């Protein structure tokens, strides 16, 4: 019999009832160190007092009106994002995949209005992930996500990650945009080298193509800069955001330059809940913390600490791990053992991690994790690896 919840997830036998900072707690009191943060969502940890305060204050004042009216919390958050980034304008969504939908629409509208309606094709990359909506699965293109769901939204071409020749060959008179994650998340924590992102920007400029970045997972302080592309010193035309921006409240956004967004006039897009007062109040509190230079400096310092300890872990368990890669507090352990076995052994050692493609175990802790918690987390991973070695 089908369960009451549509069984599209293979859930771990864990069930948390409370969160405190970097900790997740089960009903029986077992405390897990959280190196997953709900897949890079709980950027400020669980139940951060400033976020709880922002949410409850807004909840007592007003939950929902509609985008038929001005929403002060939305305006404040949009101003903060415009102030802190390349963007001139922001549209709020409730998720990453909705941000993908708008990014695709914005690209198409741009060329339609520019008198080049034939330019509809977006070049994306193999092993990428852009969400589960029709545009999202067509953009990522992997058979795992698209099989059985055709006909797919047309207008996407896929090239292998790092295949420069294939990328150049894919560009033609119909190319509208290049869409890429600066650090692939689901694909296995694969950072795009800075010079490659610079190269993509140049390529786009040369051909009049829009550069669309998906920073849903790697954005909002995760890599130690507010957005990952800042490391390369280049700006996109359009950027998808979600996950960390809401700190656990469903919130997403599309950020764009005035030029890229110019076709999106009244009536061209909308969302009932997008930019609702609750989400924007929390997002504003997240932004206030994450944009502080000391905060990002701390993320970078803690990244160095975690990475160093993980390198020690890899060296101590050469049969379980192969290497560490990633950026900031978005790190991946490339495994020799099966990644899902490592994640399971982690659960037994009371540490939560997330598997990714390419046999990687993802470490995406709250950005607020402390040095002691980092040490304890790696100790637990070490214990998990020792248990796995014993089992082999």
Nearest residue (CB) to ligand PLP, 131 versus 221: 131
**CA dist 314 to 69, 269, 340, Å?**
54, 48, 17
The region of 16-24, 129-137, 172-180, 315-323 touching ligand PLP under the rule CB under 6 A is 129-137
C-alpha to C-alpha distances, 350 to 9, 334, 375, 384, nearest whole angstrom:
21, 20, 14, 9
> 367 and 43 in contact (C-beta within 8 Å)?
yes
Out of 42, 58, 85, 95, the only residue in the binding site for ligand PLP (CB under 6 A) is 95
Interface residue with ligand PLP, options 34, 101, 181, 237 (CB under 6 A): 181
Strands laid side by side in the 156-159 sheet: 89-93, 252-256, 238-241, 210-214, 175-180, 121-125, 156-159
Q: Of 281, 288, 283, which is closest to residue 59 (Cα–Cα)? A: 281
Which helix (H) or strand (E) element contains residue 139?
A: helix 134-140
With beta carbons less than 8 A apart as the criterion, state whether 321 and 307 touch: no
Distance in angstroms (rounded) separating the CA atoms of residues 96 and 218: 12
Only one residue has tokens 């990687």, namely 360
Report, in Å, the least distance between residue 130 CB and ligand PLP.
5
Name the residue number minimizing CB distance to ligand PLP. Answer: 96
Size of the site for ligand PLP (CB under 6 A): 14
Which of 87, 216, 367, 369 binds ligand PLP (CB under 6 A)? It is: 216
Output phi, psi for 380, to 5 deg. -70, -40
Q: In angstroms, give the least distance from the CB of 7 to ligand PLP.
A: 18
Task: Establish if 214 lies at the interface with ligand PLP (CB under 6 A).
Answer: yes
**141 touching ligand PLP, by CB under 6 A:** no
The stretch near ligand PLP (CB under 6 A) out of 59-67, 124-132, 275-283, 347-355 is: 124-132
Among 42, 58, 85, 217, interactor with ligand PLP by CB under 6 A = 217
Per CB under 6 A, 139 contacts ligand PLP = no
Q: Compute the least distance from the CB of residue 329 to ligand PLP, in Å.
A: 15
- By CB under 6 A, tell whether 131 contacts ligand PLP: yes
Give the H or E element holding residue 201. helix 194-207
Answer yes or no whether residue 242 interacts with ligand PLP by CB under 6 A.
yes
| Site residues (vs ligand PLP, CB under 6 A) | 95-97, 129-131, 181, 185-186, 214, 216-217, 242-243
């Amino acid at each position: 019999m089908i369960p009451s919840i549509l069984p599209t997830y293979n859930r771990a036998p864990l069930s948390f009832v409370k969160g405190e900072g970097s900790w997740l707690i089960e009903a029986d009191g077992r405390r897990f160190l959280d190196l997953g943060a709900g897949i890079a969502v709980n950027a400020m940890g669980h139940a951060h007092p400033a976020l709880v305060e922002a949410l409850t204050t807004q909840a007592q004042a007003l939950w929902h009106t509609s985008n038929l009216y001005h929403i002060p919390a939305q305006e404040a958050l949009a101003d903060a994002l415009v102030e802190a980034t390349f963007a001139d304008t922001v549209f709020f969504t409730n998720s990453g995949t909705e941000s993908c939908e708008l990014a695709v629409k914005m690209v198409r509208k741009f060329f339609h209005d520019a008198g080049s309606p034939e330019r509809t094709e977006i070049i994306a990359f193999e092993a990428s992930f852009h969400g589960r909506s029709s545009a999202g699965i067509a953009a990522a293109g992997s058979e795992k996500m698209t099989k059985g769901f055709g006909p797919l939204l047309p207008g996407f071409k896929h090239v292998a990650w790092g295949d420069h020749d294939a990328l150049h060959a894919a560009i033609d008179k119909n190319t509208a945009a290049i869409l890429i994650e600066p650090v692939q998340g689901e694909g296995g924590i694969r950072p795009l080298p800075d010079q490659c992102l610079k190269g993509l920007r140049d390529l786009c400029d040369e051909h009049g193509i829009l550069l669309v970045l998906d920073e849903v997972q790697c954005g909002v302080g995760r890599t130690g800069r507010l957005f990952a592309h800042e490391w390369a010193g280049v700006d996109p035309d359009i950027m998808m955001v979600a996950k960390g921006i809401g700190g656990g409240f469903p919130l997403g956004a599309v950020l764009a330059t005035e030029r890229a967004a110019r076709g999106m006039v009244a009536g061209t897009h909308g969302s009932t809940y997008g930019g609702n007062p609750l989400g924007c109040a929390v997002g504003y509190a997240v932004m206030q913390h994450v944009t502080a230079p000391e905060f990002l400096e701390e993320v970078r310092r803690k990244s160095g600490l975690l990475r160093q300890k993980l390198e020690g872990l890899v060296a101590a368990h050469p049969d379980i791990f192969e290497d560490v890669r990633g950026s900031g507090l978005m790190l991946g352990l490339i495994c020799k053992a099966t990644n899902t076995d490592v994640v399971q052994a982690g659960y037994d050692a009371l540490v939560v991690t997330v598997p990714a493609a390419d046999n990687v175990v993802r470490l995406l802790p709250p950005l607020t994790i402390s040095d002691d918690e980092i040490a304890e987390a790696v100790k637990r991973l070490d214990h998990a690896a020792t248990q796995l070695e014993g089992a082999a």
